[in-house]
Amino acid sequence: HAQTIALKVESDKPGAKIDRQLFGQFAEHLGRGVYEGVWVGPDSSIPNTRGIRNDVVAALKELRVPNVRWPGGCFADEYHWRNGIGPLQDRPATLNPNWGGVIEPNSFGTHEFMDFVQQIGAEAYISVNVGSGTPQEAADWFEYMTTDQPTTLAKQRAANGHPEPYGISFIGLGNESWGCGGSMTPEEYAAQLRIYARYTRNYNARHPALKIAVGPDSAETGYTEAVMKAWKERNWSWDFNGLSLHYYTVGAGFPPKFAATGFGTSEYATLIKYTLRMNELLRTHEAIMDKYDPEKKIALVVDEWGAWLAPTPGSKEGFLEQQNSVRDAIIAALNINIFARHADRVRMANIAQMVNVLQAMILTDQDKLVLTPTYHVFHMYVPFQDATFVPVAFDAGTYVNGAIKLPKVDAIAAKGKDGKTWLSVTNIDPSAPAQLEIPTRAKRAAGRILSAPKIDSVNTFASPTTVAPKPYEAKASSGKITLKLPPHSIAVIALEEQ
């Protein structure tokens, strides 16, 4: 007999805006993420618009992707933008030493990326090369992209097909400078940051850009302290707007050992436990940021997150390909719920990565495409984009697996831009259903539920809809709505007055 959990939706205590930028994506030149996943080239038999896959664009448009981070990741700190402009046949072949040591054809460059984000209706988040580039190279890139004055670089942009300046919304000043981005100490990075924040100029006054500094690796606080201290001491000549945090659900550390499929409840519980650590990490870094920036001017930007699992057997080394199961869907929902609860400081995030890499939205094989369970979570959460956080009071109950104790359920609510009160409820328990009761004036709750037979159920090219949302409805009776959730499921519903 399942115990009933009461959910109190506190609509009278609205919180911060759940910024739509929290639903950002990340597309690195890594494995089949960009090449094959997005770019097939104009001559491909796969239907495309100027080389960009139509099926992938159509699927991503449905997610209302707010921004895409590009070209990396570690790749960004070895990327030289001039290799990626001009006629395709003239672009140099370079190497991608981080990811499989493969040839980088440079066919997907600045213009192709900007075409792609425009096709899906997203904003551009460009990561500049601080590790192996120069401030001048970064400055030239932004002059090339954003000035409307007839400079030599702007004329080159026009000759390459884009007379109008581009609008860039976010500029990443390096990536993981503590690791693949140059192994810099916090102080060394702070010194670079001052230079890059000054000279990476956005000349497009009609399209302001926010600058994001490299911040912490998981629980490490050295970068948070040094970068925030530098910000506090900044002067008129340089500034930035966001601090990046990277944290993956990987389990007991790198290299990732947790299998993407064929796992049991113990591996499931372990990875959920590591996912929930995100909450403590945000608290840790927020406390430091509050010290230097009590007005919360600087956003905490979780621009790499998601499950990083053992690679798909037989996939190429360094391509970071992994299947995506119901467990990934739950990991996505729990992370988004945590971001929403921290929405006053956490105002942007990017799941790693968009197509064919790590916790992807989409998997492709030649001309075939499959939407992952994680895709469906992002789709179900669209009403939370730019919604106002509404607290939900509940006693989550406990799901116990060996020595691991987890909350049995999780829930967030928000007042959507459509005026409706939206609720997302997750039954974390992999074996038992959950019953929840919401005291409410609403007449019914309606939306969609994502559930599947097993915790490791996946979508494959042969069976693409094993994990797919289904309509969900519950009617009120005696002033309350009772939700019944099967094990390992996520429901996103609106409370409707009629």
Catalytic residues: 176, 304
Which residues make beta-bridge pairs with 373?
Answer: none
* Total residues at interface with ligand AHR (CB under 6 A): 10
Closest separation in Å from C-beta 215 to ligand AHR? 12
Closest separation in Å from C-beta 167 to ligand AHR? 25
Closest separation in Å from C-beta 175 to ligand AHR? 5
Closest separation in Å from C-beta 361 to ligand AHR? 14
Q: Does 72 bind ligand AHR (CB under 6 A)?
A: yes
Site string for ligand AHR, 379-408 (x = CB under 6 A): ------------------------------
Task: Name which of residues 143 to 182 contact ligand AHR (CB under 6 A).
Answer: 175-176
Q: Does 105 bind ligand AHR (CB under 6 A)?
A: no
Give residue number: closest CB to ligand AHR: 73
Closer CB to ligand AHR, residue 28 or residue 36? Answer: 28
Closer CB to ligand AHR, residue 28 or residue 140? Answer: 28
Closest separation in Å from C-beta 193 to ligand AHR? 17
Site string for ligand AHR, 73-102 (x = CB under 6 A): xx----------------------------
Site string for ligand AHR, 26-45 (x = CB under 6 A): --x-----------------
| From candidates 304, 321, 410, 456, binder to ligand AHR by CB under 6 A | 304
Task: Name which of residues 309 to 368 contact ligand AHR (CB under 6 A).
Answer: 352-353, 358
Closer CB to ligand AHR, residue 28 or residue 143? Answer: 28
Phi first, then psi: what are they for 466, rounded to 5°?
-60, -40
CA separation for the pair 491, 337 (Å, rounded): 13
What is the dihedral sign for C-alpha 404, 7, 341, 431?
Answer: positive
Say which amino acid occupies 22: L
Q: What's the chain's Rg over C-alpha atoms? A: 22
Q: Does 244 bind ligand AHR (CB under 6 A)?
A: no
Closest separation in Å from C-beta 305 to ligand AHR? 10
Closer CB to ligand AHR, residue 231 or residue 308? Answer: 308
CA separation for the pair 154, 148 (Å, rounded): 7
Phi first, then psi: what are they for 95, rounded to 5°?
-115, 155
Burial class (CB in 10 A: 0-12, 13-18, 19+), 96: buried
Tell me which residues touch ligand AHR (CB under 6 A): 28, 72-74, 175-176, 304, 352-353, 358
